[in-house]
Amino acid sequence: MSSSKSYTIKQLLTKMRNPDADFRFMALTDLIKEFPREAECGEKPMYLDEAIEKNSRPGLEMVKDGNTEVKNQAVKTASEDEQLRDLAGLALKTVVAEIPTNSRLAPTLCNKLTPKLITQLQEMTPSDVLVTHLDVLSDLLVRFDIYLRSNPNMQSHALKALLPNLTNPRTAVSKRVVTALGSLAGCCNDDIFFALISKTVMPGLRSSESLRLKNNVALAGVLARASPERLATVLTELVPLVVKVSQVEEEELRDTSLQTLESLLLKCPSEMSTFIPPIINAATKAIQYDPNYAGVDESDEMDIDENENEEDDEDAEFGDEYSDDDDMSWKIRRAATKLLSTLIATRFELLQELYQSVSPVLISRFEDREESVKLERKRPTMLDDQKANGPLGLLRAQSPAASKSILKCLNCKSIAVRQSGFTLLYELINVLDGGLETQILPLLDRIEASLKSADTGISGSGTSLKIEVYKFLTLFFRTHHLRSFTPVLSRFVNILLSGINDQYHRITSEAFIAACSLIKVLSPLAPSSPIHSDSACALKSIYDVTMSRLTSSTADQEVKEWAAMCYQDLITHAAGLFEADFGNSLPIITQRLDNEITKCSTLQVVTQIVRSPVPKGETFENWISHIIPVVGSFLRKNNRTLKILCFECLNALLRRSNTKIDPAVVQTLISDLHPMIDVKDLPLLPLALKSLGFVVPFASDLPADGKSKLLEPVYQIIKSAAISQGPALDALISLFSALVEHNLEQPDALIACLIVTVDKNSTLEQAKAAVLTKTGGILSPNAASGLQPYYTVARCIGAVVRVQPSAGLQVLGNFASVLQDPTDNKTSAFFSLLCLGEIGRVVDLSAHHEVFKCALTRFDSSFEDYAKCCSICDRLLPMHPALVCLATPIACGIRYSMRLTVNWKRPETLQPNVSASLLFLMLPNSSKITGTAQVSLTTNPSWDTFGYRPLVRSLALSVLDSAAHNKRNLVRGYPSPTLTHCAETVVDQSLVRFVERARSNTESMTDWKLERSAILDCLYPHMFTIEPLTYSVLCSVGVFYMLTLLETCLSKIDINEFTNRVLQGLSDEDEIKVLAIYAHATFTHSPNHDSITS
């Protein structure tokens, strides 16, 4: 070694002993450069002789240096080729990540690689290499845990290798050790897991050493995520230690403990319930931890004067910019905020307490200096607001302070903070339905400042802020009364006009939406007073800019769509202000109907305009007459969406009271509608029938030939089963009602035409066989659809009679005469019964006793279809109680008749008779049912005729079930007699019989299954009274209706008895088990479940 080189190295060795870490780091860097330079000069390589040892020993001693950067640099001096180590580590990570977990190589990889990694961890490995080994080991434990679970020896060796490195002074190493221990905890056995807790985590949390304490707190959080079910068993000892650590002064340790508490709250929610108060206390203290910032006085903080000058704003912005690079206290505040956010999101039952203890702290700390803390601070408040359906009073009381703090945050130069502030204001007024009436002036100042300072570029961050501002304005106008912002209305309008004229289409669209919201406030559809002059000026300004964008040739298509919708709201709500301009504006809408791209959206605009009663005048009515044939022509287009929109628009146009249509246009409309009246396109069929019904009022001036062809396609499809129910049947009924209402057809002639459409000479078997022939002779539930045309025609006759009751009396005798022969099983008798039922719904048949007697004879028929059509009318209901007690098939038919009547009639119609009728069915066996003394009824021996006849009792319960589902208020007064039938859900062994099957299999057949199903279903309406949920079970009762919320008869239900019956039903037969499961699930999801179980 030359003397110059020796002198240079001596200087470097001297610098390496310098107390300043920077000098030591630079000396090591220069030493690394000197080694390859000697090789380039052709000098002999240095071996472990005296000189090399003298030069290398100080460098190796630097590996033990307390400074991490110096230590890393010292490691590099001992490396022959650093890139080789890095490439090898990357290769191992790639192999572990890419090999599939179900590959044949996976076991080999685990068996060969894991022991070598464990061995490396136990040796004096450099930190860089140690980090790589820990990463690879963590990936192995996570991806191939299935192979390591069955190897406790390897788990134990891994734990022994990892624990010594947990106290490694290098942060990168200790963090990866914590991660690796968490990965090991996910696949290790219970002995190793609890040994890790008892021998490492717990002693570490009690330690006073900062590094050990921090690593073990972090390890507790990782274990909560890896194996929460096992960690939950030691939370009583663990959590108090973590909470204690969260109150220490060291910032990094405090931050780690708060993150661990957050993990415990998420992963062990039920076990953490007892620790919520100390956690809230720790989080609220930590969220206010800011040692380097004195803050401002509370009175100054909340002082937002309406006349704030720019100097005050600059001061506020200066405060936002204040920062200290060495201040890490913001991490504690952010961790505390995230902890409170988790608490609010997962603990809805503590909402009221959180409003009292947490919400004021969050509000007071909105003005944090750190941007990330500001953003996190607003998220839990937004969660708080969105779940504020209960304690709204607390939120409303805190609203002034919250709004003032948020408004001061809107002064911040950070666009992200401003956007978050407007989002939070949106949530606040959404929950409170307003609340900013006293802050409108400062709010308006902040809005104007935010829009001016936002970036103008389309891709700039200011675009999102502008969009958020206009979204907020949309809700602001909806939730605040006009008088609260009338003095500054012009400033709001200027903001909207600026957004509408913006170059970016998304901003323009949001501005149009906000303008539509303002229009509905300035001129509601049902105004209590004339439009104010300021409101009129605002509406005209919006109208002018809307028409400008609508007629612009450079505007984006989406912008024009929203401009058309804004024009729609202007005309719908304030057409009187713009009636003089109808001659210019309405043709623009008509012109958009000719454009294929804008046709659909314009049809929606026209529909809404025409439906509004506000637009009037000769110009407007002439425009309607002009566009009717234009809209009707769209029915010929091969565009399904366009046809649906066309039907809606056409119906709205035809329903205008002052609409005048030329007979030629009416004939054209009918010609366009006739091809649509076809069962080939069922979704469009009801729309076409409905539109044809709206055309009927204008068809009176048609020639006789046109009138006769009006119903030709209707008579052709009336025989189809496709229109026997649903919207198609409703539209068909409305059509026949309109024909009679507008005297387009005589009622008697129309009924005669309807009667002719059905076949009355075939038998019921032949009618069903016709359908079986079409379906290949396979008997299915649709076999009865061969009778559906009779139901449809009967409903149409009923519609005619409802408009003209006298027509029903004229044909009554004809239908009754068909029923004289009780042995007649032709479809004529079936059809006559249906028609009599429809007529009986409208006409009083109490004087026609012979009709009722003829119907009763049909209950003895062997054909069930006759019994189904014997519901005559509500005026004959008083006769039912005297007949339901008869031990004859007539009683069964009467009960079914009552069920149909209850489904159809209004409650007030049935009220006088429901007590006598339904209580007969509720008490089938008075001698065996207790608790009947509370019902003031006399004992009737005829009740015993019900006995244990499952069919009769099941029908009785079906009637009760129908009443409870459809007319609940009829039976709400009698829950106790119904609930006594809980006993009927118990299996009666006397009714269980065993049937021998092949191969000595025995199957139990329960006659009482039908009744138990009906009783379980009858119990639901006493608990749940919102919309029914339809479901199907394999039960003879048919389709049941489940209801979803516990309500009316809660105080009269014995919950213990009901629960016992449901739990026993879970072990019953499958049909009963299904009902019991639904009952149990719906009961547990009831909002009153907690109060009931307590």
736 pLDDT tier (thresholds 50, 70, 90):
very high
> Residue 809's pLDDT band (boundaries 50, 70, 90)?
confident
- More confident position, 119 or 974: 119
Lookup result for tokens 């479809």: 827
Chain-centre distance of CA 991, in angstroms?
47
- E strand or H helix that includes residue 840: helix 827-840
Rg value, the chain, Cα? 42
The closest of 860, 853, 892 to 876, measured between CA atoms, is: 853
- The pLDDT of residue 480: 92
pLDDT score of 974 more than 70:
no
Rounded percentage of the chain residues whose pLDDT exceeds 90: 24
Residues of the chain above pLDDT 70, percent: 65
Given phi > 0 = left and psi -120 to 50 = alpha, else beta, which region is 743? Answer: left
Give the pLDDT confidence score for residue 348 in this predicted structure: 73
Per residue in 313-370, pLDDT (tens digit) is 444 444 444 444 556 777 888 888 888 888 887 777 777 777 777 777 777 766 555 5
Query: Letter for the amino acid at 446?
Result: R
Q: Name residue, tokens 């509004």.
A: 612
CA–CA distances in Å: residue 1027 to residues 85, 540, 583, 681, 1021: 68, 45, 48, 30, 11
pLDDT at res. 680: 85
Q: Which of 312-326, 679-693, 936-950, 1066-1080 has the lowest mean pLDDT?
A: 936-950
Q: What number of H helices and E strands is found in the chain?
A: 57, 4
Query: Is the pLDDT reported for residue 715 higher than 60?
Result: yes
Query: Counting Cβ atoms within 10 Å, is residue 272 exposed (0-12), middle (13-18) or buried (19+)?
Result: buried
Q: Are 260 and 242 in contact (CB under 8 A)?
A: yes
Closest to 647 measured CA to CA, from 683, 598, 697: 683
Does residue 980 surpass a pLDDT of 70? no
Helix pair 21-40, 3-15: axis angle to 10 deg: 160
Pairwise CA distance, residues 56 & 385, whole Å: 65
Is a pLDDT exceeding 90 seen at residue 271? no
Per DSSP bridges, beta strands 1028-1032 and 992-996 are unpaired
Measuring CA to CA, which residue among 865, 717, 740, 896 is closest to residue 792?
Answer: 717
Task: Determine the Cα–Cα distance for residues 27 and 13; give it in Å rounded to an integer.
Answer: 7
What whole-number distance in Å separates Cα of residue 235 and Cα of residue 237? Answer: 5
What's the rounded Cα separation, in Å, for the pair 949 and 1007? 9
pLDDT at residue 372, rounded to an integer:
55
Q: Are the C-beta atoms of 560 and 512 separated by less than 8 Å? A: no
Q: Which two tokens stand for residue 601?
A: 């959206």
Expressed in angstroms, the distance from the first to the final Cα of the chain is 90
Secondary structure element (H or E) that encloses residue 470, with its range: helix 462-479
Element containing residue 897 per DSSP (H, E): helix 889-904
Alpha-carbon gap, residue 394 to 358, rounded angstroms: 12
- Break the chain into its structural domains and give their ranges: 3-77, 746-872, 920-1093
Residues in CB range of 742: below 8 A, 6 or more apart: 696, 697, 699, 700
Q: Which residues sit opposite 763 in a β-bridge?
A: 826
More confident residue, 595 or 867: 595
Position 177 scores a pLDDT of: 92
Residue 5 pLDDT exceeds 50: yes
Q: Using 50, 70 and 90 to split pLDDT, how confident is the model at 875?
A: very low
Q: pTM score, two decimals?
A: 0.63
How far is it, in rounded angstroms, from Cα 433 to Cα 426? 10
Q: What is the helix (H) or strand (E) element at residue 1028, kind and residue range?
A: strand 1028-1032
Query: For 809-830, what is the mean pLDDT?
Result: 78
Q: Decide if pLDDT at 775 tops 90.
A: no
Average pLDDT of the chain is: 74
pLDDT at res. 865: 56
What does the chain come to in residues? 1094
- Among the residue ranges 363-372, 454-463, 881-890, 1055-1064, the one predicted with the least confidence is 881-890
Phi–psi pair at 1002, nearest 5 degrees: -120, 130
Rounded Cα gap, residues 382 and 388, in angstroms: 10
How many Å apart are CA 532 and CA 163, to the nearest integer? 78
Residue 1000's Cα: distance from chain center in Å? 53
* Cross-strand partners of 996: 1002
- Model confidence pLDDT, tens digit, residues 160-185: 999 988 888 888 889 999 999 999 99
**757 pLDDT more than 60:** yes
pLDDT at 68: 64
3-class SS at 679? coil
Q: Which residues contact 590 (CB under 8 A, 6 or more apart)?
A: 623, 626, 627, 630
Across residues 207-226, what is the average pLDDT?
90
How confident is the model at residue 1004, as a pLDDT?
A: 47
Q: What is the pLDDT of residue 62?
A: 67
Residue 681 confidence (pLDDT): 85
* Single-letter amino acid, residue 77: T
541 half-sphere exposure, CB direction, 13 A CA radius: 21
* Whole-angstrom distance, CA of residue 872 vs CA of residue 897: 8
Predicted pLDDT of residue 999? 43
* Helix, strand or coil, per DSSP, at residue 850: helix
pLDDT band of 447, cuts 50, 70, 90: very high
Q: How far apart are CA 177 and CA 183, in angstroms?
A: 10
Helix axes 788-803, 747-756, angle to 10 degrees: 180
Nearest residue to 466 (alpha-carbon basis) of 477, 478, 455: 455
Q: Which two tokens stand for residue 105?
A: 């190589």
Q: How confident is the model at residue 928 (pLDDT cuts 50, 70, 90)?
A: very low
Question: How far apart are alpha carbons 902 and 971 in whole angstroms?
Answer: 12
**Bridge partners, 1029 (sequence order):** 1042
Confidence of residue 122 (pLDDT cuts 50, 70, 90): confident
Instruction: Please give the C-alpha separations between residue 32 and each of 12, 13, 23, 37, 55, in angstroms, as whole numbers.
Output: 11, 12, 14, 9, 12
Judged by DSSP in three states, 649 sits in: helix
| The pLDDT of residue 954 is above 50 | yes
Name the residue with higher pLDDT: 999 or 970. Answer: 970
- In the chain, the amino acid numbered 307 is N
Per the model's pLDDT, the better-predicted residue between 297 and 31 turns out to be 31
d(CA 636, CA 86): 72
- Mean pLDDT score, 17-28: 82
- Flag the least confident range among 536-540, 997-1001, 1031-1035: 1031-1035
Name the strand (E) or helix (H) holding 994.
Answer: strand 992-996
Of 794, 747, 786, nearest to 768 (Cα)?
Answer: 786
Q: Which residues contact 758 (CB under 8 A, 6 or more apart)?
A: 719, 789, 790, 793, 827, 831
CA atoms within 13 A on the CB side of 1012: 24
Instruction: Of 7-21, 359-373, 810-824, give the lowest mean pLDDT range.
Output: 359-373
**Model confidence at 989, in pLDDT bands (50, 70, 90)?**
low
Question: Residues 588-600: what's their mean pLDDT?
Answer: 91
Identify whether the C-beta of residue 1038 lies closer than 8 Å to the C-beta of residue 1075.
Answer: no
What pLDDT is recorded for position 895? Answer: 57
Q: In sequence order, which residues have a C-beta less than 8 Å from that of residue 226 and are 6 or more positions away?
A: 182, 183, 185, 186
Reported as a pLDDT band with limits 50, 70 and 90, residue 862 is low
Residue 378 pLDDT class (50, 70, 90 cuts): very low
Say how far apart CA 34 and CA 39 lie, in whole Å. 9
Which two tokens mark 503? 């170059």
- Whether the per-residue pLDDT at 130 is higher than 60: the answer is yes
Q: What pLDDT sits at residue 293?
A: 56
Say how far apart CA 789 and CA 721 lie, in whole Å: 6
Structure tokens at 876: 């004959």
Average pLDDT of span 250-275: 88
